[in-house]
Structure 1
Amino acid sequence: MSGFRSKRRLFAVPAIAFTLLAGTAEAQTNRIGGLYDITVAGLTIGRGTLSLVLQGNAYSAKVGLEPAGIGTLFSTGKGGAEAAGWLVGSKVMPSRYTMASRAANRDFYVSLTQGSGHIRSADVAPQFKPNKERIEVTKQHRQNAMDPLSAALVPVSVGKDGLGPAACKRKLPVFDGWTRFDIQLSFKETREVSGRGYDGPVVVCSAKWIPVAGHRPSTDSVKHMASSDMEAWFAPMGRKDVLVPYRITIPTRTGQLVVEASKLRLSDNERDQAAR
């Protein structure tokens, strides 16, 4: 089951990282594409891709993961996830999420339907085996929660505050299909980055993983994650009112896990041709 948990967390991490659709012909469309390196203790174990489309206040995001570098010696698994929804002020309001992957000759699948900031339905495979210690996920735990991919998008106000403490002043309630947890962000600093398709400031947030339900509190993996000091860097790619992950770090027992952008591409100031 340790591989099962690790695979789910990988999709929740970068992860933890991405009202109505504006219906006018002038709705601006921003497209962001990214390649991410995944390393542990400085060794490359995987590659990730990100595709994000922002059209008015609607978003559509897609990520893919596959082994790379030394990771190909231990795993042939790969997978991906997709999410869509709306940005309403400072809130993300997802509508759907799917994740499918294969690892260690096992298939993993999640399908969530969402609305009004809640998880409406969930279809997952495989199911957890019964365990008396596991905290049951109730209907209440699915209220005011979102999928892991939608949680990677950070709406902010335009201006200096967008890359200041206010950007990190939030708790992200996440449901991945099996477990419910919170990611508590807090402001650390701002930095300048360059040379990977984006030149400019990023806001650096400290992050804490808080288990809520679906977990077994006594397990070493849960204790380790809950006590780890994580970090997330966010950049205003394409639009100044929406931040996306640039770098995520998580301490593991085998070294620091880092998911970091290696190449970013953005296309902004476009108009939705299909709406004309």
Structure 2
Amino acid sequence: MRQVLACVFGVLLFTTLSTTSHAKTEQVGGIYDISIAGFTVGRGTLSLVLQGSAYSAKVGMEPAGIGTLFSTGKGGAEATGWLRGSRVLPSRYTMASTAANRDFFVNLRQGSGHIRKAEVIPQFKPSKTRIKMTNRHKRNAVDPLSAAVIPVNSRSKVLDKSVCDRKLPIYDGWTRFDVELEYKTTKTVSGRGYEGAVVVCKVKWTPVAGHRPERKNVKMLAAARDMEAWFAPVGSSSRVLIPYRISIPTSTGQLLIQAERLDMVSSLNTASKTNN
């Protein structure tokens, strides 16, 4: 879960895009509060740039609140790829983080919805109980950051129940798992840089490979039925949603990741240019 959380939220850095068409650009910058049992333990920021059918995202996370007293964990990740209808087709993903005085690194090359090449540090230690990872598990899979970008087929569907009608097959470099979404309700939120409707999905987590089934946290997450993800639409014309709030049970209390501020900017590119 440490890898997943570090990949979903983090340091706000806009990537460089070279634009050569009249496509519209949507940019989102977000700051997220991360708390456990009501106590702030971290802060993350999210950057997403949509240029036509292409996307580029960067994230990171660092301790905050009482988290600065006992945690030295921090990290960041970035991903790029393409949107095809309601599908995300990543091209590359990198993640680097430090936790408990250990460094973690992932470099994925992806294509046609599959993991083509993976470089991971450190490697898991051998274990007789670990579910073996095979090439089959890397087909029809996406990285954790790209999985947080939720496209729909049309703008008219951006707040529809169908937003939650999907199963996300995620590969983080160490493990392969499924995140299945199911519609719960639609809410109206305000006061955090975004005012409007959000789609609330129930979340079911299923381990697929790379896990050790006997581990307590694996059993707890697989059995959890109170996980939720809230999604907010990007801008006024985009057909893409991003996480507004995520709630996950842990052994020390409910982990809550919630937007503290969201800033959305739209612009129309009328000439070839480079944005930094």
How high is the TM-score relative to the length of structure 1? 0.92
Unaligned runs of 5+ in 2: 11-16
Pair 273,198 (structure 1): closer, same or farther in 2 beyond 3 Å: farther
1:258 to partner: Cα distance: 0.4
Partner SS, residue 262 of structure 2: strand
1:270 to partner: Cα distance: 3.1
Q: Does 1:234 align with 2:220?
A: no
Aligned to 2:161: 165
Aligned to 1:18: none
Q: Quick check: 1:197–1:263 contact (8 Å CA) kept in 2?
A: yes
Q: Does 1:144 align with 2:140?
A: yes
1:207 to partner: Cα distance: 0.3
Say which of 77, 82, 87 aligns to 1:86: 82
Partner SS, residue 129 of structure 1: coil
Say which of 97, 100, 106 aligns to 1:104: 100
Aligned to 2:13: none
Pair 13,251 (structure 1): closer, same or farther in 2 beyond 3 Å: farther
Partner SS, residue 163 of structure 1: coil
Q: How many residues align?
A: 266
2:46 and 2:24 map into 1 onto residues whose CA distance is 20
Pair 186,125 (structure 1): closer, same or farther in 2 beyond 3 Å: same
Q: Which amino acid aligns with 1:256?
A: Q
Pair 58,217 (structure 1): closer, same or farther in 2 beyond 3 Å: same
2:270 and 2:106 map into 1 onto residues whose CA distance is 31
1:10 to partner: Cα distance: 2.0
Aligned to 2:114: 118
1:13 to partner: Cα distance: 5.4
Q: Deviations over 1:64-98 (max 9, x none)?
A: 10000000011122110000000011100000000
Aligned to 1:9: 4
Q: Quick check: 1:22–1:57 contact (8 Å CA) kept in 2?
A: no
1:9 and 1:154 map into 2 onto residues whose CA distance is 16
1:137 and 1:174 map into 2 onto residues whose CA distance is 13
Partner SS, residue 217 of structure 2: helix
Partner SS, residue 140 of structure 1: helix
1:159 to partner: Cα distance: 4.7
Pair 86,96 (structure 1): closer, same or farther in 2 beyond 3 Å: same
2:190 and 2:244 map into 1 onto residues whose CA distance is 11
Say which of 130, 152, 162 aligns to 1:156: 152
Pair 23,12 (structure 1): closer, same or farther in 2 beyond 3 Å: closer
Partner SS, residue 87 of structure 1: strand
Q: Deviations over 1:49-78 (max 9, x none)?
A: 101000000000000100000000111221
Pair 125,270 (structure 1): closer, same or farther in 2 beyond 3 Å: same
Q: Quick check: 1:11–1:148 contact (8 Å CA) kept in 2?
A: no
Q: Does 1:32 align with 2:28?
A: yes
CA RMSD of superposed structures (Å): 1.9
Aligned to 1:69: 65
Partner SS, residue 66 of structure 2: helix
Q: Does 1:261 align with 2:259?
A: yes
Among all aligned residue pairs of Structure 1 and Structure 2, give the percentage whose two residues are the same amino acid. Answer: 61
1:158 to partner: Cα distance: 3.0
Aligned to 1:195: 191
1:272 and 1:250 map into 2 onto residues whose CA distance is 43
1:22 to partner: Cα distance: 11
1:210 and 1:14 map into 2 onto residues whose CA distance is 21
Say which of 234, 242, 245 aligns to 1:244: 242
Partner SS, residue 188 of structure 1: strand
Q: Does 1:204 align with 2:200?
A: yes
Q: Which amino acid aligns with 2:3?
A: R
1:7 to partner: Cα distance: 2.2
How high is the TM-score relative to the length of structure 2? 0.92
Pair 48,266 (structure 1): closer, same or farther in 2 beyond 3 Å: same
